[in-house]
Structure 1
Amino acid sequence: MQTFNIQDAKTHFSRLVEAASEGEEIVITKAGRPVARLVPITHSSVERKFGALKGQVRIAEDFDAPLPDDVLASFDGR
């Protein structure tokens, strides 16, 4: 882990982003106190499978039916 003050981080930003993309963690400080951390983005190793929940989700027949008047009135504050 490398530490840079905010001025040095601004000056060498491209180099720091490159280092982070290669797996390094960079801490940016202001007045000697850590204020930000530059870390690499990790990609999920789990691949999504289309249709994985097929047969496990049920949608009610009246899913898109209009709401009853008393429920609609509660949205209006009546």
Structure 2
Amino acid sequence: MKTFPVAEAKTHFSALLKDVEKGEEIAISYGRKKEMVALLVPFAARQKKKTRGLGSLEGKMKVKFAKDWYMTTEELLNMK
């Protein structure tokens, strides 16, 4: 991962975006201590979603639907 201070990132922003398109991650640092304040990552990497778990209920409950259970889209949309 490359790190750039804000001033340099502003100057070379287009080139940094091309590097990000290639899959690189780029950190932006700020201040005298050069603390990292931002991270540029490829958008495609952000799109990969993990399946969402049940959180605190995971493994504590089960849901089963009867084979003859059916709900129309209209019924689902009109639920209150």
* Fold match (TM-score > 0.5): yes
Distance 2:35 2:27 in 1: 10
Report the RMSD for the aligned CA atoms in angstroms: 2.8
The answer to whether 1:21 aligns with 2:1 is no
Find the counterpart in structure 2 of residue 12 from structure 1.
Answer: 12
**CA–CA distance in 2 between the matches of 1:16 and 1:25?**
9
Measured in 1, the distance between the counterparts of 2:36 and 2:15 equals: 19
- Give percent identity, aligned residues only: 39
Gaps of 5+ in 1: 46-55, 64-78
Unpaired stretches in structure 2, ≥5 consecutive residues: 49-69
Letter of the 2:13 partner, please give it. F
Structure 1 position 57, deviation (Å)? 4.5
| Equivalent residues in 2 for 1:1-78, closer than 5 Å | 1-31=1-31, 32-42=34-44, 57-58=71-72, 59-60=74-75, 63=78
Q: TM-score, normalised by structure 2?
A: 0.56
Aligned residues: 54
* Aligned equivalents of 1:14, 1:38: Cα separation in 2: 12
CA distance in 2, matches of 1:15, 1:38: 12
| Off by >6 Å, runs of 4+ in structure 1 | none
2:3 alignment partner, SS class: strand
Rg: which structure is higher? 1
